[in-house]
Structure 1
Amino acid sequence: MKLWTPNQELKNGRFIIQKVMGGGGFGLTYKALDTSKDKMVVIKTLNQFQQTQEDFEQRQEKFLNEALRLAQCSHPHIVKVYEVFREEGLWGMVMEYVDGDDLGVYVENNGPLSATEALCYIEQISQALEYVHRQGFLHRDVKPNNILLRRETQEAILIDFGLAREYTGKTGSMTNAKTEGYAPIEQYERRGEFGEYTDVYALAATLYSLVTKEVPIPANFRKKGLSLPPPQQYNPTISDDLNAAIVRGIALEPQNRPQSVLEFQELLGIHPQAEAHLKSSLGINYSQLRNFLASGRWKEADRETARMMLAVTGREKEGWFAVEDIEMFRCEDLQIIDQLWLKYSHGRFGFTIQKRIYEAMGGNKDYDADVWEAFSDRIGWHKNGDWVTYNNIIFDISAPVAHLPRGGSTVGEWGGFVLWLGLCGVFSRIDSCEL
């Protein structure tokens, strides 16, 4: 039985084990230094239990084949598999090291997420699952703890394909390994009908957990008659539409769920086709803003955002709006603007991202110059003791997280306070709108 220890060298010194990161029903993961590239990686092997089984070699063969198959996958929201190697009879899968917490830890530390932020992550993972399904795989273990958030970009990354299997859409036999609360009823059966709807259940259960901080009642308990509380019972701020979409996504019987990730996306309103209605009830059309964001034209998008906000408040002629205008800003329009920024920046930019960072640094509705400057330093609005002018804002996806939207063309002596006044008003409106 092989268990690697810190400072142990593998593959003739190519890898140096740093620590054990964790394990599950099948695998054990290590953080390691790849000395050839001077960067951290993750190495995964079959765990001690698997190593004691009589058919260990067959299990290793299956592990190796799946590793090779995953190594061919390339998607921005799927962890990268670099290579495999054999050390004293034990195969290891070398993967990228993602610096950041998983969504389970993130929710535990921050509480239930807003619908806007939760849907931003769910959209990214649903794109990953669409890709996996096109390759003929099911992930079969989607859950908050298997979704990492890159610390620098806040992008969601799907990890741990230990239960991933090929599927044909027909009745078949699969291992009964699962995660209680996120596994659908068909995963409790040795032989069952598996399909994309299997991962849809887990994706919907993950969304349930993100917005409620509660793990859904396991499917086998529900099968015996225990009712699943709708997410609105734990979080009354959830809209009726979102509540209904989640409930349908975690329907007990497969035929009652959305049959594909695409169908679930459309139910949630996060698929591109669902963006057809980009005009608010006030008549403001956000198609141009969407087009700028979709094409990565961040400066034009920033200016369009300011123009749209002036239009909503009826202050286009004046070219500016007062705090009381922001305090009465329409919730529907604020949500559309924020969701578009979140969607096309993959969670890097947006008012709700700015609000989360500001509050995490101790910011509140009372002006504190030190906190405000520290926040502005972090997101790139304040540098070396000076406020960054609009011409020096970084209109690129590589800009610091929460750098955009910025708005405003100049920053003078009172610019720092004026920026705080406006943005704090937006933060307050986000709270009152329950976004």
Structure 2
Amino acid sequence: MTHIREKWVLLGLCGLLAGYQLIQLIQLSHYNRLDALLAAQNWQEADRQTTRIILQETRWGLSNAQVWGMALLSGELTGWYDPIHRYPCSKLQRLDGLWLQHSGGRFGLSVQQQIFERVAKQFNDEFDLYGAFEHEVQWTRRNPSVGGLSEFPVGHFPSQDWVQATTVVGKGEPWMLSAKYLYDRIQECQMAQ
């Protein structure tokens, strides 16, 4: 009887390991796809792939309902940082590194973080700050058809789509917090260029 139980435990552990390896392969394929899109300078599709990666890495779909529930109950958005705070620095650096590498340092989350930090010094009001930041990276320029590297301003990609995807409502304070918290996480991960 003990021998049978040991086999089941071993089989269960093998299943867990196989599941973990499958998750690792899926994550690797997401980054490989992003790498290929960026190498081809397919900025818009690479942007969509980046949003998928950010949502996957932060497990946003699993946590945003819980975060919003706590926010509504408490009247504060205290848990909003949680999914982004759990974003592994190594994966965030990899994501940013791909954008930096293929754009010659023009695009990437760390580029945006530096622009955000520079613009923040000019404004006391957060709404003005985010408006100025959006204007600087031209996130207000929606649906550009195609464009080469020089067609877009420094910091334009990844676009605000990843921010919008981590927000239940469109713009407003939660949108701003998503961006701010990710840029704070970039600083924590010491990703400044």
Q: How far apart in 1 are the matches of 2:146 and 2:105?
A: 17
Return the index of the structure with the highest Cα Rg: 1
The residue aligned with 1:403 is 156
Q: Does structure 2 retain, via aligned residues, the 8 Å contact 1:302–1:404? A: yes
Q: How far apart in 2 are the matches of 1:297 and 1:329?
A: 25
After superposition, residues 33-52 of structure 1 pair within 5 angstroms as: none
Residues 1:307 and 2:52 aligned together: yes
Q: Quote how far apart the aligned CAs of 1:312 are.
A: 1.4
Q: How far apart in 1 are the matches of 2:44 and 2:116?
A: 23
Q: Which structure has more RCO (C-alpha within 8 Å, separation ≥ 6)?
A: 2
Q: Does structure 1 retain, via aligned residues, the 8 Å contact 2:55–2:61? A: yes
Q: Quote how far apart the aligned CAs of 1:323 are.
A: 3.0
Residues 1:357 and 2:115 aligned together: yes
Q: Quote how far apart the aligned CAs of 1:392 are.
A: 5.0
After superposition, residues 234-313 of structure 1 pair within 5 angstroms as: 283=24, 284-285=27-28, 286-313=31-58
Q: Quote how far apart the aligned CAs of 1:368 are.
A: 1.4
Name the TM-score, length of structure 2 as normaliser.
Answer: 0.64
Q: Does structure 1 retain, via aligned residues, the 8 Å contact 2:37–2:46? A: yes
Residues 1:434 and 2:187 aligned together: no
Q: Give per-residue Cα distances to partners, 1:26-66, cap 9 Å, x unaligned.
A: xxxxxxxxxxxxxxxxxxxxxxxxxxxxxxxxxxxxxxxxx
Q: Quote how far apart the aligned CAs of 1:417 are.
A: 3.8
Among 158, 161, 178, which residue is 1:422 paired with? 178
Partner SS, residue 380 of structure 1 = coil
Q: Does structure 2 retain, via aligned residues, the 8 Å contact 1:381–1:403? A: yes
Q: How far apart in 2 are the matches of 1:358 and 1:331?
A: 19
Q: Does structure 2 retain, via aligned residues, the 8 Å contact 1:381–1:393? A: no
After superposition, residues 83-232 of structure 1 pair within 5 angstroms as: none
One-letter amino acid of the counterpart of residue 54, structure 2: M
The residue aligned with 2:87 is 329
Q: How far apart in 2 are the matches of 1:333 and 1:393?
A: 29
Q: How far apart in 2 are the matches of 1:429 and 1:301?
A: 22
The residue aligned with 2:128 is 370
Q: What are structure 1's unaligned runs of at least 5 residues?
A: 1-281, 383-387
Q: How far apart in 2 are the matches of 1:426 and 1:333?
A: 13
Residues 1:339 and 2:81 aligned together: no
Q: Quote how far apart the aligned CAs of 1:316 are.
A: 5.1
Q: Quote how far apart the aligned CAs of 1:356 are.
A: 0.8
The residue aligned with 2:139 is 381
Q: Does structure 2 retain, via aligned residues, the 8 Å contact 1:372–1:420? A: yes
Q: Does structure 2 retain, via aligned residues, the 8 Å contact 1:307–1:316? A: no
Q: Does structure 2 retain, via aligned residues, the 8 Å contact 1:342–1:349? A: yes
Question: How many residues align structurally?
Answer: 147
Q: Does structure 2 retain, via aligned residues, the 8 Å contact 1:326–1:425? A: yes
> Residues 372 and 340 (structure 1 numbering): CA distance in 2 closer, same or farther, change over 3 Å?
same
Q: Give per-residue Cα distances to partners, 1:88-128, cap 9 Å, x unaligned.
A: xxxxxxxxxxxxxxxxxxxxxxxxxxxxxxxxxxxxxxxxx
Partner SS, residue 341 of structure 1 = helix
The residue aligned with 1:273 is none
Q: How far apart in 1 are the matches of 2:54 and 2:89?
A: 12
Partner SS, residue 361 of structure 1 = helix
Structure with more helix by fraction: 2
Name the TM-score, length of structure 1 as normaliser.
Answer: 0.30
Q: Does structure 1 retain, via aligned residues, the 8 Å contact 2:63–2:83? A: no
Q: Quote how far apart the aligned CAs of 1:393 are.
A: 8.4
Structure with more strand by fraction: 1
The percent identity for this pair of structures is 29
Q: What are structure 2's unaligned runs of at least 5 residues?
A: 1-22, 68-79
> Residues 392 and 313 (structure 1 numbering): CA distance in 2 closer, same or farther, change over 3 Å?
same
Q: How far apart in 2 are the matches of 1:295 and 1:319?
A: 33
